[in-house]
Amino acid sequence: MIDKFAQPSRRLFFLKIMLPAVATALLLNGIAASLLWWSASESDRVSIDRQHMLVDVVVADIRSKIAHDQESVTVWDDAVTEVQNPGGAEWIDANLGSWMASYFGHDHAYVLNAVDQPIYAFADGVQKDPSAFAAVQSQTLPLAHDLRSRLAAGDTHGISDRTLTLGASDLVTIDGRPAILSIKPIVSDTGDLVQAPGEEYMHVAVRYLDGAFAALLERDYLLDNLKFSWEAEASPGSARAALLKDDGHPLGYLVWTPFSPGSTVLWRVGPVMLGLAIASLIVLAILLMALRRRSINLSLSEAEVRHLAHHDLLTGLANRAQLAKRFDAALLDRWTGGSLTLIFLDLDHFKEVNDTLGHPAGDELLREFADRLRRMTTEADTVARVGGDEFVVLTRSLSSTQAVAEYCATLIETTRRPFDLEGTQVFVGASVGAARASNPSDDREELSRRADVALYHSKRSGRSSYTLYDPQLDQATTLRRNMERDLRTALERPGELEVYYQPLIRATDGTISGFEALLRWHHPVQGSIAPAVFIPVAEETGLILRLGAWVLQQVCTDTRAWLVDTVAVNASIVELHDEHYASRVAQILSANGMAPQRLELEITESAFCERATDCEKNITHLRGLGVRFALDDFGTGFSSLGRLHNLHAERLKIDRSFVAGFGSDKGDEAIVQAIVDLAQAVGMTTTAEGVETSGQRDLLAAMGCDQLQGFLLSRPLPAREIERLLRAGSLKADLGIGTRLDSSSL
């Protein structure tokens, strides 16, 4: 009985249960396999499309980047002057050749004169004879002739706040290698140098697209086996992007092996599916889970790419693209009401941080400064990094001009706080320019221009300051030219320029240890003009050399009979860079019979940081004569407490901004105490500027500060009044603490 019914039962089980189950399992496995194959193909397609988009963006950006690199050295008064200087070959090589190769990675650099004849050539990592230009002459001259025609015709198409000058570029073949060839005119950045349109000197840059360049793209953008190919046909499994010349024809192709995440998944999961065919439902569940995980990973990758496309890699702040997008959105939202303020920030003396402490320290400084900006802004504001040390804040939270001013002041105060870079405390400042949208017609370009004008004014006003845009700032260029003319006249006309002297008082007993010479300009029309206004103009125009010599001559004449320890004179960094400065100072001292030991030159820390330059040679020469040096305005620019022992200055002057902050919650007392303690540790005396209250005087004396200077003690006085008081034997009438003038103080 059992055998009789067993056979039909097994057949029925096979037909009704096993066969449908097997068929269902096979169907499910087929569906799962189909889904997996489709998912893998889609993943590969999405990945390859994304890589194509990335390569297209990179290739499109290459030519504009090379031209932008060139503008960093071709829009420059010094470049216009030096390329026409018969003895400027060394300068040209350092700034227009070797620098472009070492910093920007350009392979060739040439300089052409007004008739397109080569005067300089750089190739294969070394300077070469100008005749080497023959290697690129046939590709260069047509572009150069076209560019000169556009310049002569006054064409301005394509010029913007980012693209400063016209240019010409194309993809060419040089010595059998693909390359980008870019030409830029060498023009004045200030407009003070007159150039005939179309007769400018030209800078030619060449960047090869194969070899090291392809390897760089492969490394930076993770494109496997990236290489240049002349052929349009790509091998199976590879992707390519055409490099199009200006005539629309491809010069060649970038070929790479695309990353195929779907195929990778398929090859790994396929064997598992075959091994688990009986458990098709479990396999299907696993595949769906794997598919879900892969989809999540792809979404995360896309989000990361979008983030990198709109944010600065170093600081995490918004980049130029994101700023422009939010800027346009903010301008549209402004129609609904509210205000809009654009703020440009530029770190002062950031280059000195990189030069002295290294680029890693500079990067850390940028990251810490970015964090400070984040803490000062809201989520509705936009904070962006748009350059090396250039930052932008776009905000709608400042409803009045007063609010903007207070916010800018807070930004500067925040920057003044020391930065701790790998155990070294560094002080830097910030120049700030701000512009508010004043009417509905203001667009992004106009508002950016205004903020940039305001920032430029802050830099020219002594840095570590802020400026709110005013239409009168647009007249700054005219005013500076007028001031230069009047300053030249003042140097020739007796009576307009006069040296005042402010006493330096010993903190211990109130006696006089010396004087600081301060220049005053009595303009016949404008009245008194502050040194902070005309000194930058003198430095820009080179008049500072004549002005400094005049001041030193006057100091020698005025103080010949003053029996004081030292007379301090400010020395500009421009003077110190003049190769004849030390000999000029020595000649003036010798001609007037003034001992070098009585002269103290006040200079900034950046001058001490110069190495292997005329600045260092001048300081060394003058120190050998016996001239003393003081570190001026410590704490307002780039200042490193940990490096004071390397500066070899006799005296350190604490900036008045720290003294003015006594009694507030900003911690200025602790900063000053730290400066005094460290200065004493390295054998330097300290002088505090800006002492205006008895409380400040007493606190500085208690801190161990050696000298005091400020209106509480005495205002700067002309030489005749100083001599009158010296003859009277006392300065009690002018010194707020009853300073005595006896033999110990003279």
pLDDT tens-place string over residues 605-660: 655 555 546 788 898 899 999 999 998 877 655 555 555 555 668 899 988 888 98
Which DSSP string corresponds to 674-743?
A: HHHHHHHHTT-EEEE----SHHHHHHHHHHT--EE-STTT---EEHHHHHHHHHHTB-TTT-TT--B-ST
- Short-list 327, 323, 412, 310, CA closest to 369: 412
> In 3-state terms, what secondary structure has residue 240?
strand
Higher-confidence position of 169 and 31? 169
Q: Which CATH superfamily is domain 491-728 in?
A: EAL domain (3.20.20.450)
> In 3-state terms, what secondary structure has residue 384?
strand
* Cα–Cα distance, 444 to 324 (Å, whole number): 8
Range of 254-258, 444-448, 560-564, 713-717 with top mean pLDDT? 713-717
Per-residue burial over 514-534, b = 16 or more CB atoms within 10 Å of its CB, e = otherwise: bbbbbbebeeeeeeebeeebb
Stretch (H or E) spanning 116: none
Which token pair is 255?
């070929």
Same fold, 42-256 and 320-469: no
Which token pair is 71?
């503008």
> In 3-state terms, what secondary structure has residue 190?
coil
Architecture of domain 320-469: 2-Layer Sandwich (3.30)
pLDDT tens sequence across 113-153: 999 999 999 998 899 999 999 999 999 999 999 999 999 99
What percent of the chain has pLDDT above 90?
36
Q: Is the pLDDT of residue 79 over 70?
A: yes
Phi, psi of 73, rounded to the nearest 5 degrees: -120, -15
Which token pair is 61?
């950006």
Q: Where are the alpha helices (DSSP H) in 565-682?
A: 573-576, 581-592, 605-609, 614-625, 656-660, 668-681
pLDDT tens sequence across 20-56: 666 776 777 778 777 777 877 777 777 777 777 777 7
* Cα–Cα distance, 487 to 174 (Å, whole number): 53
Paired residues of 529 in beta bridges = 521
Residue 745's pLDDT is 31
- Count of CA atoms in the C-beta half-sphere (13 A) of 625: 25
Among 36-45, 243-252, 318-327, 509-518, whose mean pLDDT is lowest? Answer: 36-45
**Interior CA angle at 293 toward 292 and 294, to 5°?**
90
What lies within 8 Å, CB to CB, of 96 at 6+ separation is 73, 74, 79, 83, 109, 111, 120, 203
User: 121, 204 in Cβ contact below 8 A?
Assistant: no
Residue 141's pLDDT is 94
Higher-confidence position of 257 and 307? 257
Indicate the domain borders of the chain: 42-256, 320-469, 491-728
Task: Specify the amino acid at residue 432.
Answer: V
Q: What is the pTM of this model?
A: 0.43
> In 3-state terms, what secondary structure has residue 186?
coil
Which of 3.50.50.60, 3.30.360.10, 3.30.450.30, 3.10.180.10 is the CATH number of 42-256? 3.30.450.30
- Short-list 573, 594, 685, 582, CA closest to 638: 573
**Rg of the chain (C-alpha set):** 35
Task: Specify the amino acid at residue 666.
Answer: K
Stretch (H or E) spanning 471: none
